[in-house]
Amino acid sequence: MKQILLLVLVSISLKSWAQDSSDYYYELPEPADSYTAGSVASRLLDGLGYRYYWATAGLTEDDYSFQPNDEARSTGETIDHVWGLSVIIRNAAQQKVTDFSKIEGPSTFEEKRISTLENIRIASLILKQSKDQDLAKYDLNFSTGEGIKSYPFWNGINGPIADAIWHAGQLASFRRSSGNPINPNASMMTGKIKTN
């Protein structure tokens, strides 16, 4: 009986993960009950997820190819970059080494968008549930031709996390410039959709 109950619970959990993965950041999830190093880092990632969700929701092909000038990345290239940053963030939370020579990214815009949101969500949940007050175990580790290059979690905050937030803002600006602004009811302060 316990095995059947466990199987049912796992099935429900996996089903809810599949249903929620692409819409998870439609609104911000509830914050942790207390302020810890992990819960604060998790909330920072949730803020990124929410901003990225709305910066990329409903993009068209015209938006995707928009480029403000010849020297700037296009919206599509910026989305590719944010996906790579999300892999670094997820791998740090999972205590894995990032080796881009062995990673094949998603091919379509929608696959990249969902993968990016899932990577952010995975990292956020790990950090939120972390009982350890010391985030030092979440180093950023990169495989190089000469071995592993490591950076402390501090660099994760000012590096890929802050960079991804920066680029989410660029995406919002790019889509406004290409005539498709983000949903005006998405409140960045509350993390909720305003209902008038």
Taking a C-beta distance cutoff of 8 angstroms, is the pair 53, 110 a contact?
no
Q: What is the CATH number of the domain that holds 41?
A: 1.20.120.450
Structural domain of residue 135, as residue ranges?
A: 37-177
pLDDT of amino acid 101? 87
Q: Is residue 19 part of a domain?
A: no
State how many domains the chain has.
1
95-134 pLDDT, tens per residue?
A: 999 998 888 889 999 999 999 999 999 999 999 998 767 7
Decide if 54 is inside a domain: yes
Q: Identify whether 7 is part of a domain.
A: no
- What is the β-pairing status of strands 140-144 and 97-98? parallel
Residue 62: phi, psi to the nearest 5? Answer: -65, -40
Tell whether the model's pLDDT for residue 160 goes beyond 90.
yes
* pLDDT for the residue 19: 43
Rg (CA), the chain: 18
Measured on CA atoms in the order 113, 168, 184, 65, is the torsion positive or negative? negative
In this structure, is residue 26 part of a structural domain? Answer: no
Has residue 110 been placed in a domain?
yes
* pLDDT value of residue 178: 94
From 62, 66, 99, select the one nearest 84 (Cα to Cα). 99
User: Residue 147: is its pLDDT beyond 80?
Assistant: yes
Residue 86 falls inside a structural domain: yes
Q: Is position 28 within any domain?
A: no
19-41 pLDDT, tens digit per residue, is 456 689 999 999 999 999 999 99
Determine the Cα–Cα distance for residues 75 and 166; give it in Å rounded to an integer: 13
Residue 9 resides in a domain: no
Indicate if the pLDDT at residue 15 is higher than 50: no
